[in-house]
A and B are shown apart, each in its own frame.
Chain A
């Protein structure tokens, strides 16, 4: 196996933290907002760590895909979008749900299969939903959500609304037929959709270099549909924020969809059952050196937006919030058996046949 490095992905070295700042064409975020993002990063990390531990104790079952390492993507996209904007995503969805504004308690309770879960315990790890924050779900079928995202964009255009649908998917989903079908339709109809490919370089245990005819670059596939595209460092909150901001502006100006590819890395396995033997230690360490939380924190510290004590306090608070979600989930009741028959169909409560 060939180790992937920042160099052979074509990214320049990171700038010194003091010189690393917003691109001139995008609005800078306020210090308050930046501290809020830092907290959000810590919360996502701690939440997933707690979920991983609970899985180890048998409190969570089934599939459980942790987001650890990819937090800059959700945080950057959240900073560039509003509550009104829609998000739809794949099965690695816990942290994205939280970034979109969902309650960690509701997400953790869903992982525990409890009645207080966001999907009443009927969805599970891969299926988080919340109408209040326009989180349209996690999809368990690789790439299945991509045309759904195009459909949400179709509605936005149909109703002439000023918002976008961010449609997240992984690198492996870019090999599914519906990826190509959705991109084609979205470009034909200028739909206000941001197709956001989180390229963590592995489809489960298979390196992207072994499955992609366009090598590690998936953004290039946009050319096939005459679509705007961007390729960014997915371990860097500011780069993700900038890319999503630009794509959103394009979309609401009626200029159509954008394909964003963010190179990121999951520090854990594909799911809880994955020991990760297909990646070298060096490669993992290389990406861990640029842990998105560390990178972001260094920038804020260099600009006196955050000091070491603030960072520590934020992280402690995040850990407490994550642990509180565990306690909430543990103390919540299981769904009553009657719920089994509800939500199959809208009116009949499922007793349809």
Chain B
């Protein structure tokens, strides 16, 4: 199978979908002439022209709202946020508009729109550019939330998100854009709401998404040397959540560590922990453990940043705790 980088996989998904349906357009800061701030939309301006690949002013609330309006009357916008940190400026348009119009209109106006861009920390970008804001979006009914960890998943899930008739938040990662992986040739579509077992194991379940999947897999390698076989589950879609896959795994392993890049307080990991204790209480041999970023704004200094973000070592320690190995 061929290898693609994550950015190439996303690019391919958008191009294939835009060739299939002329209602789809891409709009955002630097997406056209600059080829994308992270080169995700490279070459798309030449392929589709300036009407469908549109450079916007730096005006996140404005262009998010413009996308919602266009979606209301039949277009299918892909709105790129240069990073989700800037997406906060558009939160009113996303939460109060995109996620509400269908419900408030009693089912008259749906909003088929994808808001996509990188989330989480990159490297030494400081407090305002290093946030994993998944919680902001999963909290709100009326939207789907996807967070990808591999090029193949990115392609298959983005195609589904574009075809979905609902608003979808699609979270990528600056760090992962250049990571490569095998991507199937031809039509490759992954349904939203279906998780993926990234590593089969029998002794403990680790749930992780986005670039934390790699942290989980690295931890699993270390744990294997200690005689512990971890099962790594990537839910891929955070809402709707593939709860069944997680519960099934816990019933097999009897132990779970949930790994998230976001802060601890009210994070997605807390939601998963609650569901696991409610649905698989009798199968648990240890309390659910969370590994999250430390509850501080992201510092700049490299050593401090490294301390904040979950590492394989922290995951190993958490697994050892749920396995009562220390």
Interface of A with B (CB < 8 Å)?
A: 86, 88, 117-123, 127, 129-131, 136-137, 139-141, 144, 146-155, 158-159, 165, 177-178, 181-182, 184-185, 188, 342-348, 350, 352-353
Q: With A and B bound together, what is the CA distance between A152 and B241 in angstroms?
A: 32
- Chain-A contact segment, one of B71-79, B154-162, B207-215, B279-287: B71-79
CB-CB under 8 A from B239, the residues of chain A are 352-353
Q: With A and B bound together, what is the CA distance between A154 and B65 in angstroms?
A: 11
Are the C-beta atoms of B69 and A151 separated by less than 8 Å?
yes
* B48 part of interface (Cβ distance < 8 Å): no
Q: Which of A151, A188, A352 meets B70, CB within 8 Å? A: A151
* B179 part of interface (Cβ distance < 8 Å): no
Q: List 30 A-B contacts (CB under 8 A).
A: A122-B103, A122-B106, A129-B104, A129-B106, A129-B108, A129-B109, A136-B72, A136-B73, A137-B101, A139-B97, A140-B96, A141-B97, A144-B93, A147-B93, A148-B69, A152-B69, A154-B69, A155-B70, A155-B75, A165-B69, A178-B61, A178-B92, A185-B59, A185-B62, A343-B102, A343-B105, A344-B103, A346-B110, A346-B165, A352-B144
Instruction: Output the nearest chain B residue to A147 by Cβ-Cβ distance.
Output: B65
* B263 part of interface (Cβ distance < 8 Å): no
Are the C-beta atoms of A119 and B104 separated by less than 8 Å?
yes
* B227 part of interface (Cβ distance < 8 Å): no
Instruction: Output the nearest chain B residue to A335 by Cβ-Cβ distance.
Output: B106
CB distance from B179 to the nearest CB of A (A): 29
Q: Tally the A-B contacts, defined by beta carbons under 8 Å.
A: 155
CB-CB under 8 A from B96, the residues of chain A are 140-141, 144
Are the C-beta atoms of A137 and B105 separated by less than 8 Å?
yes
Are the C-beta atoms of A151 and B65 separated by less than 8 Å?
yes
Contact A88 to B69, CB < 8 A, known contacts A117-B106, A127-B105, A147-B64: yes
* B298 part of interface (Cβ distance < 8 Å): no
* B57 part of interface (Cβ distance < 8 Å): yes
Q: With A and B bound together, what is the CA distance between A113 and B149 in angstroms?
A: 45
The secondary structure that dominates the B interface is: mixed
Which interface class (under 10, 10 to 19, 20 to 34, 35 or more) fits B? 35 or more
CB-CB under 8 A from B166, the residues of chain A are 345-347
Are the C-beta atoms of B240 and A346 separated by less than 8 Å?
no
CB distance from B75 to the nearest CB of A (A): 5
CB distance from B70 to the nearest CB of A (A): 4
Q: With A and B bound together, what is the CA distance between A141 and B100 in angstroms?
A: 12
Q: Which of A121, A178, A345 meets B142, CB within 8 Å? A: A345
* B177 part of interface (Cβ distance < 8 Å): no
Contact A185 to B63, CB < 8 A, known contacts A118-B106, A148-B72, A151-B71: yes
Q: With A and B bound together, what is the CA distance between A48 and B258 in angstroms?
A: 55
CB distance from A100 to the nearest CB of B (A): 14
* B135 part of interface (Cβ distance < 8 Å): no
Are the C-beta atoms of A352 and B240 separated by less than 8 Å?
yes
Are the C-beta atoms of B70 and A152 separated by less than 8 Å?
yes
CB-CB under 8 A from A141, the residues of chain B are 92, 96-97
